[in-house]
Amino acid sequence: MVQDKMLLAFDVGTTAVKGAIYTAGGQCLFSTGIAYGKRSSQPGWVEQNPQDWMDCMTDVIAQIAQQFDLESIVGIGICSQVNTHIFVDEHGQALMDAIVWDDQRCAEVTEELNHCIEQCVKREQDEKIGLLDSSSLISRAQWVQYYNPEVWQQTRWILSPKDYCILQLTGERVTDALSSVGLVAESGGYLKQALALVAGLEQRLPPIKSIHQIAGHLKEGWCGIKIGCPVVVGTMDCWASLFGSGAFSHGQGFQLAGTSEILGLVSEQAHPASGVVTFPAYQGLYLHAGPTQAGGDALDWFARGLDKDVNQLLLEVAAREPIKDPLLFLPYLMGERAPIWDPKARGAFIGLTKNHDSHSMVRAVMQGVGFSARHLMEHLEQAAGFSCDTLVISGGASRSDLWCQIKADIMNRTLDRVENVDTGTFGAALLAATGVGIYSSLQEAVTKGVVINRSFHPQSTTRDRNDALYRSYRESYQQLKPVFDSLYKIMS
Protein backbone atom coordinates (compact mmCIF):
# COMPACT_ATOMS: atom_id res chain seq x y z
CA MET A 1 0.00 0.00 0.00
CA VAL A 2 1.39 3.41 -0.96
CA GLN A 3 0.71 6.28 1.45
CA ASP A 4 1.79 9.91 1.52
CA LYS A 5 3.72 11.23 4.51
CA MET A 6 3.43 8.47 7.07
CA LEU A 7 4.80 8.74 10.59
CA LEU A 8 6.31 5.83 12.51
CA ALA A 9 5.92 5.95 16.29
CA PHE A 10 7.17 3.73 19.11
CA ASP A 11 6.37 3.48 22.81
CA VAL A 12 9.12 1.52 24.58
CA GLY A 13 7.15 0.36 27.61
CA THR A 14 7.81 -1.83 30.61
CA THR A 15 6.37 -5.01 29.15
CA ALA A 16 6.28 -4.40 25.39
CA VAL A 17 7.28 -2.18 22.52
CA LYS A 18 4.23 -0.71 20.83
CA GLY A 19 4.58 0.51 17.28
CA ALA A 20 2.16 2.32 15.01
CA ILE A 21 1.87 4.00 11.65
CA TYR A 22 -0.06 7.28 11.44
CA THR A 23 -1.04 9.52 8.57
CA ALA A 24 -0.05 13.17 8.63
CA GLY A 25 -3.61 13.90 9.76
CA GLY A 26 -3.34 11.63 12.79
CA GLN A 27 -5.22 8.55 11.56
CA CYS A 28 -3.82 5.28 12.89
CA LEU A 29 -3.27 2.91 9.96
CA PHE A 30 -1.61 0.08 11.87
CA SER A 31 -0.73 -0.69 15.46
CA THR A 32 0.89 -3.65 17.15
CA GLY A 33 2.88 -4.60 20.20
CA ILE A 34 5.59 -7.14 20.89
CA ALA A 35 6.17 -8.24 24.47
CA TYR A 36 9.39 -8.84 26.34
CA GLY A 37 10.15 -9.74 29.90
CA LYS A 38 11.79 -8.38 33.02
CA ARG A 39 14.34 -10.24 35.11
CA SER A 40 14.96 -10.26 38.84
CA SER A 41 18.33 -11.77 39.71
CA GLN A 42 18.05 -10.69 43.36
CA PRO A 43 15.17 -9.66 45.65
CA GLY A 44 14.04 -6.15 44.76
CA TRP A 45 16.01 -6.04 41.50
CA VAL A 46 14.23 -5.54 38.16
CA GLU A 47 16.21 -5.54 34.91
CA GLN A 48 15.77 -5.63 31.15
CA ASN A 49 18.12 -6.30 28.25
CA PRO A 50 18.22 -3.10 26.14
CA GLN A 51 18.79 -5.14 23.00
CA ASP A 52 15.29 -6.58 23.47
CA TRP A 53 13.86 -3.12 22.77
CA MET A 54 15.76 -2.78 19.50
CA ASP A 55 14.90 -6.32 18.41
CA CYS A 56 11.20 -5.77 19.10
CA MET A 57 11.21 -2.45 17.24
CA THR A 58 12.74 -4.20 14.25
CA ASP A 59 10.09 -6.94 14.46
CA VAL A 60 7.37 -4.27 14.52
CA ILE A 61 8.77 -2.69 11.36
CA ALA A 62 8.86 -6.10 9.67
CA GLN A 63 5.12 -6.42 10.31
CA ILE A 64 4.48 -2.92 8.99
CA ALA A 65 6.53 -3.61 5.86
CA GLN A 66 4.11 -6.37 4.88
CA GLN A 67 1.35 -3.79 4.37
CA PHE A 68 2.96 -0.41 3.78
CA ASP A 69 5.62 1.28 1.69
CA LEU A 70 8.25 2.21 4.26
CA GLU A 71 9.77 4.82 1.95
CA SER A 72 6.68 6.94 2.68
CA ILE A 73 7.79 7.34 6.32
CA VAL A 74 8.90 10.96 6.76
CA GLY A 75 9.61 10.95 10.48
CA ILE A 76 10.09 8.68 13.50
CA GLY A 77 8.96 9.48 17.04
CA ILE A 78 9.80 7.55 20.20
CA CYS A 79 8.56 7.79 23.78
CA SER A 80 9.46 5.43 26.59
CA GLN A 81 9.18 4.42 30.20
CA VAL A 82 10.93 6.85 32.50
CA ASN A 83 13.42 6.23 35.33
CA THR A 84 14.73 3.14 33.60
CA HIS A 85 18.46 3.66 33.08
CA ILE A 86 21.08 2.20 30.76
CA PHE A 87 24.80 2.66 31.37
CA VAL A 88 26.66 2.62 28.04
CA ASP A 89 30.31 2.94 27.00
CA GLU A 90 31.81 5.39 24.50
CA HIS A 91 30.67 3.15 21.63
CA GLY A 92 27.06 3.13 22.82
CA GLN A 93 27.17 -0.47 24.02
CA ALA A 94 25.26 -1.34 27.20
CA LEU A 95 27.61 -2.29 30.03
CA MET A 96 24.92 -4.05 32.08
CA ASP A 97 21.21 -4.75 31.91
CA ALA A 98 18.98 -1.70 32.24
CA ILE A 99 17.81 -0.92 35.78
CA VAL A 100 14.02 -0.70 35.43
CA TRP A 101 11.93 1.98 37.15
CA ASP A 102 10.42 -0.41 39.72
CA ASP A 103 13.82 -1.76 40.83
CA GLN A 104 14.36 -1.15 44.55
CA ARG A 105 18.07 -1.92 44.97
CA CYS A 106 18.91 1.71 45.68
CA ALA A 107 16.76 2.19 48.79
CA GLU A 108 19.67 2.50 51.24
CA VAL A 109 21.77 4.63 48.89
CA THR A 110 18.76 6.91 48.43
CA GLU A 111 18.43 7.41 52.18
CA GLU A 112 22.06 8.52 52.34
CA LEU A 113 21.60 10.92 49.42
CA ASN A 114 18.43 12.38 50.90
CA HIS A 115 20.30 13.09 54.12
CA CYS A 116 22.85 15.06 52.07
CA ILE A 117 20.03 16.91 50.30
CA GLU A 118 18.44 17.88 53.60
CA GLN A 119 21.75 19.32 54.71
CA CYS A 120 22.01 21.27 51.43
CA VAL A 121 18.53 22.72 51.92
CA LYS A 122 19.46 23.81 55.44
CA ARG A 123 22.42 25.69 53.96
CA GLU A 124 19.94 27.47 51.62
CA GLN A 125 21.49 26.59 48.29
CA ASP A 126 20.47 28.74 45.31
CA GLU A 127 18.77 25.89 43.46
CA LYS A 128 16.22 23.74 45.23
CA ILE A 129 16.97 20.02 45.20
CA GLY A 130 14.04 17.70 45.69
CA LEU A 131 14.24 14.50 47.70
CA LEU A 132 14.99 11.35 45.72
CA ASP A 133 13.41 7.92 45.49
CA SER A 134 14.90 4.57 44.50
CA SER A 135 14.16 5.13 40.81
CA SER A 136 16.10 8.40 40.56
CA LEU A 137 18.98 8.52 38.10
CA ILE A 138 21.10 10.09 40.85
CA SER A 139 20.44 7.13 43.15
CA ARG A 140 21.19 4.66 40.36
CA ALA A 141 24.44 6.41 39.47
CA GLN A 142 25.56 6.41 43.10
CA TRP A 143 24.71 2.72 43.44
CA VAL A 144 26.71 1.74 40.34
CA GLN A 145 29.63 3.86 41.53
CA TYR A 146 29.55 2.10 44.92
CA TYR A 147 28.83 -1.49 43.95
CA ASN A 148 29.95 -1.83 40.32
CA PRO A 149 32.96 0.51 39.99
CA GLU A 150 34.25 -1.22 36.84
CA VAL A 151 31.01 -0.39 35.02
CA TRP A 152 31.12 3.16 36.37
CA GLN A 153 34.65 3.68 35.06
CA GLN A 154 33.60 2.53 31.57
CA THR A 155 30.32 4.48 31.54
CA ARG A 156 30.27 7.35 29.03
CA TRP A 157 26.52 7.99 28.99
CA ILE A 158 23.54 7.20 31.22
CA LEU A 159 20.45 7.04 29.03
CA SER A 160 16.71 6.48 29.15
CA PRO A 161 15.24 3.76 26.90
CA LYS A 162 14.18 6.15 24.13
CA ASP A 163 17.54 7.92 24.23
CA TYR A 164 19.32 4.57 24.01
CA CYS A 165 17.23 3.65 20.95
CA ILE A 166 17.92 7.03 19.32
CA LEU A 167 21.65 6.47 19.88
CA GLN A 168 21.50 3.08 18.17
CA LEU A 169 19.53 4.48 15.22
CA THR A 170 21.32 7.78 14.64
CA GLY A 171 24.57 7.73 16.59
CA GLU A 172 23.45 10.90 18.42
CA ARG A 173 23.56 11.31 22.21
CA VAL A 174 20.57 13.38 23.28
CA THR A 175 17.79 13.65 25.86
CA ASP A 176 14.92 16.01 26.72
CA ALA A 177 14.17 18.09 29.79
CA LEU A 178 10.76 16.55 30.47
CA SER A 179 12.21 13.03 30.78
CA SER A 180 14.98 14.18 33.10
CA VAL A 181 12.83 14.20 36.23
CA GLY A 182 14.57 15.85 39.19
CA LEU A 183 17.64 16.73 37.14
CA VAL A 184 16.47 19.87 35.35
CA ALA A 185 16.00 23.45 36.62
CA GLU A 186 13.25 25.89 35.60
CA SER A 187 15.64 27.23 32.96
CA GLY A 188 15.57 23.88 31.15
CA GLY A 189 19.21 23.09 31.87
CA TYR A 190 20.66 20.55 34.26
CA LEU A 191 20.35 21.24 37.98
CA LYS A 192 24.04 21.36 38.83
CA GLN A 193 23.53 21.22 42.59
CA ALA A 194 21.71 17.90 42.20
CA LEU A 195 24.28 16.40 39.83
CA ALA A 196 27.07 17.35 42.23
CA LEU A 197 25.74 14.76 44.69
CA VAL A 198 27.51 12.07 42.63
CA ALA A 199 31.08 12.72 41.53
CA GLY A 200 31.46 12.49 37.76
CA LEU A 201 27.73 12.33 37.01
CA GLU A 202 27.38 15.58 35.07
CA GLN A 203 29.79 14.60 32.29
CA ARG A 204 27.95 11.29 31.82
CA LEU A 205 24.64 12.93 30.87
CA PRO A 206 23.70 13.72 27.25
CA PRO A 207 22.84 17.19 25.90
CA ILE A 208 19.24 18.38 26.35
CA LYS A 209 17.16 19.25 23.26
CA SER A 210 13.54 20.21 22.62
CA ILE A 211 11.06 17.32 22.54
CA HIS A 212 10.02 18.01 18.92
CA GLN A 213 13.51 18.81 17.68
CA ILE A 214 15.16 16.40 15.26
CA ALA A 215 17.69 14.37 17.25
CA GLY A 216 19.39 12.92 14.21
CA HIS A 217 18.86 10.86 11.08
CA LEU A 218 18.96 7.13 10.44
CA LYS A 219 22.61 6.28 9.92
CA GLU A 220 21.71 3.22 7.85
CA GLY A 221 18.63 1.73 6.25
CA TRP A 222 16.26 0.07 8.68
CA CYS A 223 14.16 -2.74 7.22
CA GLY A 224 13.28 -0.61 4.20
CA ILE A 225 13.13 2.80 5.86
CA LYS A 226 15.45 5.07 3.91
CA ILE A 227 18.80 6.26 5.25
CA GLY A 228 18.55 9.79 6.60
CA CYS A 229 14.95 9.56 7.83
CA PRO A 230 14.66 12.09 10.70
CA VAL A 231 14.24 10.82 14.26
CA VAL A 232 12.70 13.28 16.72
CA VAL A 233 13.94 13.64 20.33
CA GLY A 234 10.58 12.62 21.86
CA THR A 235 9.87 12.40 25.56
CA MET A 236 8.74 10.19 28.43
CA ASP A 237 5.52 8.17 28.22
CA CYS A 238 3.68 10.43 30.67
CA TRP A 239 4.11 13.58 28.58
CA ALA A 240 3.60 11.74 25.29
CA SER A 241 0.31 10.38 26.61
CA LEU A 242 -0.70 13.87 27.70
CA PHE A 243 -0.22 15.09 24.14
CA GLY A 244 -1.88 11.99 22.70
CA SER A 245 -4.93 12.41 24.94
CA GLY A 246 -5.38 16.07 24.03
CA ALA A 247 -5.12 17.17 27.68
CA PHE A 248 -2.91 20.15 26.96
CA SER A 249 -4.81 23.09 28.46
CA HIS A 250 -5.23 24.57 31.94
CA GLY A 251 -7.73 22.57 34.00
CA GLN A 252 -7.40 19.32 32.06
CA GLY A 253 -6.20 15.98 33.39
CA PHE A 254 -5.38 12.48 32.22
CA GLN A 255 -4.98 8.96 33.56
CA LEU A 256 -2.68 6.51 31.81
CA ALA A 257 -3.71 3.01 32.82
CA GLY A 258 -0.76 0.85 31.89
CA THR A 259 1.65 -1.37 33.80
CA SER A 260 1.34 1.28 36.49
CA GLU A 261 -1.08 4.18 36.80
CA ILE A 262 0.15 7.62 35.76
CA LEU A 263 -2.10 10.57 36.51
CA GLY A 264 -1.53 14.21 35.66
CA LEU A 265 -3.15 17.63 35.83
CA VAL A 266 -2.23 20.68 33.74
CA SER A 267 -2.28 24.17 35.23
CA GLU A 268 -0.99 27.68 34.63
CA GLN A 269 0.29 27.95 38.20
CA ALA A 270 2.06 25.57 40.56
CA HIS A 271 1.38 25.14 44.26
CA PRO A 272 3.75 23.20 46.54
CA ALA A 273 2.39 19.73 47.31
CA SER A 274 3.96 16.62 48.73
CA GLY A 275 4.14 13.30 46.95
CA VAL A 276 3.87 14.45 43.32
CA VAL A 277 6.19 15.70 40.60
CA THR A 278 5.68 19.20 39.22
CA PHE A 279 7.59 19.54 35.97
CA PRO A 280 9.20 22.82 34.92
CA ALA A 281 6.74 24.89 32.88
CA TYR A 282 6.44 23.93 29.22
CA GLN A 283 4.87 26.56 26.96
CA GLY A 284 3.50 28.29 30.05
CA LEU A 285 1.86 25.17 31.48
CA TYR A 286 2.85 23.05 34.46
CA LEU A 287 2.27 19.31 34.51
CA HIS A 288 1.67 17.91 37.97
CA ALA A 289 1.97 14.15 37.71
CA GLY A 290 2.75 11.03 39.60
CA PRO A 291 3.26 7.35 38.88
CA THR A 292 1.97 4.65 41.16
CA GLN A 293 3.99 1.46 41.37
CA ALA A 294 1.18 -0.89 40.35
CA GLY A 295 -1.62 -0.87 37.79
CA GLY A 296 -2.30 -3.47 35.14
CA ASP A 297 0.80 -5.26 36.41
CA ALA A 298 -1.02 -6.12 39.66
CA LEU A 299 -3.80 -7.84 37.75
CA ASP A 300 -1.27 -9.65 35.56
CA TRP A 301 0.46 -10.90 38.71
CA PHE A 302 -2.76 -12.29 40.16
CA ALA A 303 -3.83 -13.85 36.85
CA ARG A 304 -0.49 -15.66 36.59
CA GLY A 305 -1.07 -17.09 40.06
CA LEU A 306 -4.39 -18.49 38.86
CA ASP A 307 -2.83 -19.63 35.57
CA LYS A 308 -5.51 -17.70 33.70
CA ASP A 309 -5.62 -15.21 30.85
CA VAL A 310 -6.28 -11.67 32.11
CA ASN A 311 -8.97 -10.92 29.53
CA GLN A 312 -10.85 -14.13 30.33
CA LEU A 313 -10.60 -13.33 34.04
CA LEU A 314 -12.08 -9.87 33.45
CA LEU A 315 -15.02 -11.40 31.59
CA GLU A 316 -15.66 -13.82 34.45
CA VAL A 317 -15.56 -11.05 37.07
CA ALA A 318 -17.87 -8.83 35.02
CA ALA A 319 -20.42 -11.65 34.84
CA ARG A 320 -20.61 -12.00 38.63
CA GLU A 321 -22.26 -9.70 41.13
CA PRO A 322 -19.81 -8.53 43.82
CA ILE A 323 -20.45 -10.02 47.26
CA LYS A 324 -21.27 -7.78 50.22
CA ASP A 325 -18.31 -8.78 52.40
CA PRO A 326 -15.76 -5.95 51.98
CA LEU A 327 -12.25 -6.90 50.86
CA LEU A 328 -9.31 -4.53 50.52
CA PHE A 329 -6.14 -4.94 48.50
CA LEU A 330 -3.04 -2.81 48.97
CA PRO A 331 -1.32 -2.89 45.55
CA TYR A 332 2.18 -2.23 46.87
CA LEU A 333 3.69 -5.39 45.37
CA MET A 334 7.00 -3.65 44.66
CA GLY A 335 6.71 -0.77 47.10
CA GLU A 336 4.82 2.39 46.18
CA ARG A 337 5.74 5.54 44.37
CA ALA A 338 3.39 8.54 44.27
CA PRO A 339 2.11 9.82 46.53
CA ILE A 340 3.69 7.97 49.51
CA TRP A 341 7.07 7.04 47.94
CA ASP A 342 7.70 4.06 50.19
CA PRO A 343 9.89 1.31 48.70
CA LYS A 344 9.32 -0.82 51.82
CA ALA A 345 5.52 -0.97 51.45
CA ARG A 346 4.12 -4.37 50.49
CA GLY A 347 0.93 -5.78 49.02
CA ALA A 348 -1.81 -7.18 51.22
CA PHE A 349 -5.34 -8.55 51.12
CA ILE A 350 -7.30 -7.35 54.15
CA GLY A 351 -10.67 -8.71 55.23
CA LEU A 352 -10.65 -12.18 53.68
CA THR A 353 -13.53 -14.47 54.67
CA LYS A 354 -14.74 -17.87 53.53
CA ASN A 355 -17.27 -16.08 51.35
CA HIS A 356 -14.53 -14.65 49.16
CA ASP A 357 -13.31 -16.53 46.11
CA SER A 358 -10.74 -15.81 43.40
CA HIS A 359 -13.16 -13.52 41.56
CA SER A 360 -13.69 -11.48 44.73
CA MET A 361 -9.93 -11.12 45.01
CA VAL A 362 -9.62 -10.03 41.37
CA ARG A 363 -12.21 -7.32 41.95
CA ALA A 364 -10.32 -6.26 45.10
CA VAL A 365 -7.11 -5.97 43.06
CA MET A 366 -8.89 -3.75 40.53
CA GLN A 367 -10.35 -1.63 43.32
CA GLY A 368 -6.98 -1.38 45.06
CA VAL A 369 -5.46 0.13 41.93
CA GLY A 370 -8.41 2.55 41.84
CA PHE A 371 -7.87 3.55 45.47
CA SER A 372 -4.19 4.23 44.82
CA ALA A 373 -5.20 6.48 41.89
CA ARG A 374 -7.67 8.35 44.11
CA HIS A 375 -4.99 8.86 46.75
CA LEU A 376 -2.64 10.27 44.14
CA MET A 377 -5.37 12.48 42.65
CA GLU A 378 -5.90 14.26 45.96
CA HIS A 379 -2.26 15.35 45.99
CA LEU A 380 -2.34 16.35 42.31
CA GLU A 381 -5.32 18.64 42.86
CA GLN A 382 -3.46 20.33 45.70
CA ALA A 383 -0.45 20.91 43.44
CA ALA A 384 -2.58 22.20 40.55
CA GLY A 385 -4.78 24.38 42.73
CA PHE A 386 -8.12 23.13 41.39
CA SER A 387 -10.49 20.15 41.49
CA CYS A 388 -10.84 18.13 38.31
CA ASP A 389 -14.08 16.22 37.78
CA THR A 390 -13.17 14.68 34.39
CA LEU A 391 -10.05 12.83 33.29
CA VAL A 392 -9.10 11.51 29.87
CA ILE A 393 -8.18 7.85 30.33
CA SER A 394 -6.01 5.74 28.03
CA GLY A 395 -3.55 2.87 28.16
CA GLY A 396 -3.94 -0.88 27.78
CA ALA A 397 -5.90 -1.37 31.02
CA SER A 398 -8.46 1.21 29.88
CA ARG A 399 -9.74 -1.28 27.31
CA SER A 400 -11.67 -2.95 30.15
CA ASP A 401 -15.07 -1.28 30.53
CA LEU A 402 -15.41 -2.90 33.96
CA TRP A 403 -12.15 -1.48 35.26
CA CYS A 404 -12.89 1.99 33.87
CA GLN A 405 -16.26 1.97 35.66
CA ILE A 406 -14.70 0.73 38.91
CA LYS A 407 -12.17 3.58 38.78
CA ALA A 408 -14.82 6.18 37.93
CA ASP A 409 -16.91 5.03 40.90
CA ILE A 410 -13.98 4.97 43.34
CA MET A 411 -12.54 8.30 42.23
CA ASN A 412 -15.99 9.91 41.85
CA ARG A 413 -14.94 11.40 38.52
CA THR A 414 -15.99 10.99 34.91
CA LEU A 415 -13.44 9.11 32.81
CA ASP A 416 -13.45 9.91 29.08
CA ARG A 417 -11.78 7.09 27.18
CA VAL A 418 -10.13 8.07 23.93
CA GLU A 419 -10.62 6.18 20.67
CA ASN A 420 -6.89 5.54 20.38
CA VAL A 421 -5.95 4.23 23.81
CA ASP A 422 -2.29 3.95 22.78
CA THR A 423 -1.77 7.64 23.50
CA GLY A 424 1.95 7.07 23.94
CA THR A 425 2.55 6.22 20.28
CA PHE A 426 0.05 8.86 19.17
CA GLY A 427 1.82 11.52 21.24
CA ALA A 428 5.18 10.41 19.83
CA ALA A 429 3.74 10.66 16.31
CA LEU A 430 2.48 14.20 17.01
CA LEU A 431 5.96 15.21 18.16
CA ALA A 432 7.46 13.69 15.02
CA ALA A 433 4.90 15.46 12.83
CA THR A 434 5.78 18.77 14.47
CA GLY A 435 9.50 18.12 14.17
CA VAL A 436 9.38 17.47 10.42
CA GLY A 437 7.15 20.49 9.78
CA ILE A 438 3.75 18.90 9.15
CA TYR A 439 2.36 21.07 11.96
CA SER A 440 3.52 24.60 12.72
CA SER A 441 3.37 23.98 16.48
CA LEU A 442 2.79 21.22 18.97
CA GLN A 443 -0.41 22.94 20.10
CA GLU A 444 -1.79 22.66 16.56
CA ALA A 445 -0.82 18.99 16.45
CA VAL A 446 -2.43 18.19 19.80
CA THR A 447 -5.79 19.80 19.00
CA LYS A 448 -6.31 17.54 15.98
CA GLY A 449 -7.20 13.88 15.93
CA VAL A 450 -8.26 13.12 19.52
CA VAL A 451 -11.67 11.39 19.66
CA ILE A 452 -13.54 10.29 22.81
CA ASN A 453 -14.74 6.70 22.54
CA ARG A 454 -16.89 6.45 25.69
CA SER A 455 -17.50 8.24 28.97
CA PHE A 456 -17.74 6.44 32.31
CA HIS A 457 -19.72 8.40 34.90
CA PRO A 458 -19.54 7.68 38.65
CA GLN A 459 -22.58 5.86 39.99
CA SER A 460 -24.14 7.53 43.03
CA THR A 461 -25.32 4.14 44.36
CA THR A 462 -21.73 3.05 45.10
CA ARG A 463 -20.35 6.27 46.53
CA ASP A 464 -20.97 5.77 50.26
CA ARG A 465 -19.49 2.27 50.21
CA ASN A 466 -16.47 3.34 48.17
CA ASP A 467 -15.82 6.33 50.43
CA ALA A 468 -15.87 4.04 53.48
CA LEU A 469 -13.58 1.52 51.79
CA TYR A 470 -11.21 4.29 50.79
CA ARG A 471 -10.91 5.48 54.38
CA SER A 472 -10.10 1.92 55.44
CA TYR A 473 -7.60 1.65 52.58
CA ARG A 474 -5.74 4.73 53.81
CA GLU A 475 -5.84 3.57 57.44
CA SER A 476 -4.57 0.11 56.51
CA TYR A 477 -1.31 1.44 55.12
CA GLN A 478 -0.66 3.54 58.21
CA GLN A 479 -1.39 0.61 60.53
CA LEU A 480 0.74 -1.84 58.52
CA LYS A 481 3.69 0.45 57.87
CA PRO A 482 5.68 -0.84 60.91
CA VAL A 483 5.07 -4.39 59.67
CA PHE A 484 6.29 -3.49 56.18
CA ASP A 485 9.43 -1.94 57.67
CA SER A 486 10.09 -5.12 59.67
CA LEU A 487 9.60 -7.35 56.63
CA TYR A 488 11.99 -5.19 54.63
CA LYS A 489 14.67 -5.61 57.29
CA ILE A 490 14.19 -9.38 57.21
CA MET A 491 14.54 -9.39 53.40
CA SER A 492 17.69 -7.25 53.59
Query: For 32-48, what is the mean pLDDT?
Result: 94
What is the location of CATH 3.30.420.40 in the chain?
6-233, 247-492
CATH of domain 247-492: 3.30.420.40
Rounded to whole angstroms, the Cα distance separating 378 from 471 reads: 13
Asked if the model's pLDDT at residue 10 lies above 50, the reply is yes
Of the candidates 79, 80, 68, 142, the one whose C-alpha atom is nearest the C-alpha of residue 105 is 142
Class of domain 6-233: alpha beta
Please give the model's pTM, rounded to 2 decimal places. 0.85
Instruction: Return the pLDDT at 2.
Output: 42
Asked if the model's pLDDT at residue 43 lies above 80, the reply is yes
Query: For 101-105, what is the mean pLDDT?
Result: 93
Query: For 327-355, what is the mean pLDDT?
Result: 97
Peptide bond between residue 331 and the one before it cis (omega within 30 degrees of 0):
no
Instruction: Return the pLDDT at 190.
Output: 95
**What's the mean pLDDT when you consider all of the chain?**
94
Asked if the model's pLDDT at residue 338 lies above 70, the reply is yes
Among the listed ranges 4-8, 143-147, 280-284, 348-352, which one has the minimum average pLDDT value?
A: 280-284
The 10s digit of each residue's pLDDT in 296-308 is 999 999 999 999 9
Of the candidates 80, 353, 380, the one whose C-alpha atom is nearest the C-alpha of residue 233 is 80
The 10s digit of each residue's pLDDT in 151-210 is 999 999 999 999 999 999 999 999 999 999 889 987 889 999 999 999 999 999 999 999
Asked if the model's pLDDT at residue 125 lies above 60, the reply is no
The 10s digit of each residue's pLDDT in 60-83 is 999 999 999 999 999 999 999 999
The 10s digit of each residue's pLDDT in 204-225 is 999 999 999 999 999 998 989 9
